[in-house]
Structure 1
């Protein structure tokens, strides 16, 4: 296979998706850049001979199939799928409406599932491919105000880990990318939806949390352009990593979670180890 690959990037109209699409083009690859509004995608990326802009609402299986068909018609294959599109419904669990909680799951978990389901037949046919899922440190460690978002990202983690051995026999790899805090548009009003305060018990903490996050917007330490370049490098390897903690803060988070899990597993080792039927040890 040529070193020139076809990248299919969701959410390519703003944020990290723009950086990933630009980095792939700069590296000499072809890019299928998708978004709900193609005008925004085109404005963000400009014109390029190896660029195809396609409308895609990831919550629509029909959109996903149409976008994949357009990609294969244009370039003949899809080598790297980057499931990047997402949003953020923030708030304390009791204040996030059931509808908003479902909306978070529909976009951030079922969205990648829809697109991957549409892409896999093409990758199986060519017996190669890489499925990249942009997860988050919120998929490693939950935290208050993030119940909906963490639910979606934890779901991404379990889904990709389980999908990996299913598709490996066809030459298809998977890679979970777990960014820490990057200077993207995730905390902007266009991407973040704060739950309406409705319960007095949470009011003070809600006000403090929203203020803290809004003050962080634009000051995050991570550089999304550098992350995009790293993904180009990793995707070019014969054996891409199954998991990539992106950012020094992400590495710290993963390491601490690993230590916590070991501590928690060991704390009740004796009790846990004595739960078998008596005849199992006879």
Structure 2
């Protein structure tokens, strides 16, 4: 039986995975053979930074809180945490390792079936992004014989915009302190007042605008600073204090200045 007899396609709803937000991974099986294929088991070797959500435990938790309007309002969007697996725990759907008596579903020639499960990337604030690799395997039976179809899928991982924003605020605080210590030395702390706080606030606002713009910027032009994580935002906030409108103007086109 050729490998192409069973076609496997894995997709997620969004273009990439955002750290700290659950995402749904859908595996679609298509029978390209002339006979019936019995799908017995689907398994994934989940990356260590990923935790998959056990649907039954999530459902039980949601059923317990939905009768209480107050709990439902505050906890419904977090009820998935009740069914979260251990970090890197393998995900199995279907029969056990050796119990192949019953199939998950049967695929007639030309038919397809799908299974979806949700996952979550734990570390989000200091996530630097990268790539998530999911090696998978489908066990199926054809004409009384058990076969294995292995595959691998990759998804881009990005930190949330909130991590970039928090980094920019942290940088906008550290930047003025570093500049003040360079110019004034320890006497800086005795002179901190409303002007200093106002300057930090302005720097934080400029840094936030620059981070949001740079993070959402598209096109062929390569920005002078790539804002992809907490530390990228931190550098933007830090250096804006030293360069002022020069760096901000390079990141965000100002009126009367070309992008």
Q: Which has the higher contact order (CA 8 A, sep 6+)?
A: 2
Larger radius of gyration: 2
Larger relative strand fraction: 2
Larger relative helix fraction: 1
> In which range does the TM-score fall when normalised by the shorter chain?
under 0.3
| TM-score for both structures, normalised by structure 2 | 0.27
